[in-house]
Amino acid sequence: MGLKSTITKEKLKSKSKAGIVLRPSTPEIKDDYIKIKGYFEKQNIEIFLEKNSANMIDEEGIDLDILCDTVDFLVSIGGDGTLISVVRRTFRSGKPVLGINLGTLGFLTDVSLNELESFLQNLSDDENYRIDSRMMIKGNANLKNFFAFNDIVISRNSLSSMIKVDAKIDGKPFNSYYGDGIIISSPTGSTAYNLSVGGPLVYPLTDAFIVTPVAPHSLTQRPLVLPADFEIEFTITDNQGAMVIVDGQDIYEVEQNQSIKIQIASKKAKLLHRKERNYFEVLNEKLQWGN
């Protein structure tokens, strides 16, 4: 565990490198970025800015793929949406991502602007941080692969009618869904859309899929928790086709009789956390768990 494999203590003491991605379409974030950059540089951590983020605030930047090759860890500045998008686009590099919360909820982002300076002062001590490995979901439709940190949602195309979907596990039929759609969530995503429609919370370091129907027109449909080594296939039987929504951010269209295959991604995402971060405390603080 720990940053040891990517950021060794020695590296931190000499000079480590962090790659920053900013919440898109918010040029007013520049003042916070400059403050944050100052905190990193004070701790001898060199900062590189991602190209689109840099263009937004009139700075110099580098392409995300090159950034991943260059730095020891990535930093997302924004809310949960920004962090999800950074993780989805970079997890294959194996670089851990730290979320600095400038958003509204900030369930996944670990450190607030107020906490950042002291967090960075202590980063050279292995006792003060943790790296969690979280499963990613891999989807395939129309010969195209996509990856989700939170969820893949199969949703109806038309507001006026329900969607029909047949589901198989490892090639064997196990259910037919009829309703507004289906959420296939990772444990990380269990506190997102899945929570809103009554799905179970699953501890984020568990390896499992959660399959939760959205507004099923049935008295018998229930959310399912399935082992991560299953391959799940959903076939759209509806003549209107369906939308496949990845982490609420990317959308693909599928037609009648086309399938979406879902399995665990071979690589996990790494999140850099404060050592003392406790999932149930975050649940309580952000989502009023147990109140």
Ligand X SMILES: NC(=O)c1ccc[n+]([C@@H]2O[C@H](COP(=O)([O-])OP(=O)(O)OC[C@H]3O[C@@H](n4cnc5c(N)ncnc54)[C@H](O)[C@@H]3O)[C@@H](O)[C@H]2O)c1
Which of ligand X, ligand ATP, none has residue 191 at its interface (CB below 5 to 8 Å by kind)?
ligand X
Considering only residues 171 to 200 of the shown chain, the ones binding ligand X according to CB under 6 A are 188-189, 191-193, 196
Which of ligand ATP, ligand X, none has residue 150 at its interface (CB below 5 to 8 Å by kind)?
ligand X
Q: What's the CA gap between 192 and 175, in Å, rounded?
A: 24
Tokens of 7: 């950021």
HSE-up of residue 266 (Cα within 13 Å, Cβ side): 3
Residue matched to tokens 């906490």: 115
Residue matched to tokens 């984020």: 204
**Catalytic site residue 166?**
no
Q: What's the CA gap between 94 and 46, in Å, rounded?
A: 19
Candidates 50, 72, 110, 151; binder of ligand X (CB under 6 A) is: 151
Q: Contact, 111 vs 99, CB < 8 A? A: yes
Q: What's the CA gap between 208 and 224, in Å, rounded?
A: 10
Classify strands 137-141 and 163-169 as parallel, antiparallel or unpaired: unpaired
Binding site for ligand ATP (CB under 6 A): 23-24, 78-82, 85, 103-106, 248-249
For residue 283, state whether it binds ligand X (rule: CB under 6 A).
no
Residue matched to tokens 């603080």: 285
Q: What's the CA gap between 269 and 164, in Å, rounded?
A: 32
Sign, Cα dihedral of 103, 17, 97, 61? positive
* Rounded least distance, CB 249 to ligand ATP, Å: 5
Q: Build a one-symbol-per-residue string for 97-136: x at contacts with ligand X by CB under 6 A, - elsewhere.
A: -------xx-xx----------------------------
| Only segment of 55-63, 91-99, 223-231, 243-251 that touches ligand X (CB under 6 A) | 243-251
Q: What's the CA gap between 267 and 50, in Å, rounded?
A: 23
Based on the number of CB atoms within 10 Å of its own CB, is 133 exposed (0-12), middle (13-18) or buried (19 or more)?
A: middle
User: According to the annotation, is 148 in a ligand binding site?
Assistant: no
Which of ligand ATP, ligand X, none has residue 93 at its interface (CB below 5 to 8 Å by kind)?
none
Closest to ligand ATP by CB, 30 vs 168, is 30
Q: Which of 72, 80, 132, 247 is catalytic?
A: 80
| Only segment of 4-12, 65-73, 230-238, 246-254 that touches ligand X (CB under 6 A) | 246-254
* Rounded least distance, CB 173 to ligand X, Å: 27
Helix (H) or strand (E) holding 183: strand 181-185
User: According to the annotation, is 196 in a ligand binding site?
Assistant: yes
For residue 79, state whether it binds ligand X (rule: CB under 6 A).
yes
Candidates 68, 109, 69, 80; CA nearest to 271 is: 109
Q: Contact, 150 vs 271, CB < 8 A? A: no
User: According to the annotation, is 52 in a ligand binding site?
Assistant: no
User: According to the annotation, is 141 in a ligand binding site?
Assistant: no
Which residues of the chain form contacts with ligand X (CB under 6 A)? 79-81, 84, 104-105, 107-108, 150-151, 188-189, 191-193, 196, 247-249
Active-site positions read: 80
Q: Which residues are annotated as a binding site for NAD(+)?
A: 80-81, 150-151, 180, 191-196, 215, 249
Q: Which residues are annotated as a binding site?
A: 80-81, 150-151, 180, 191-196, 215, 249
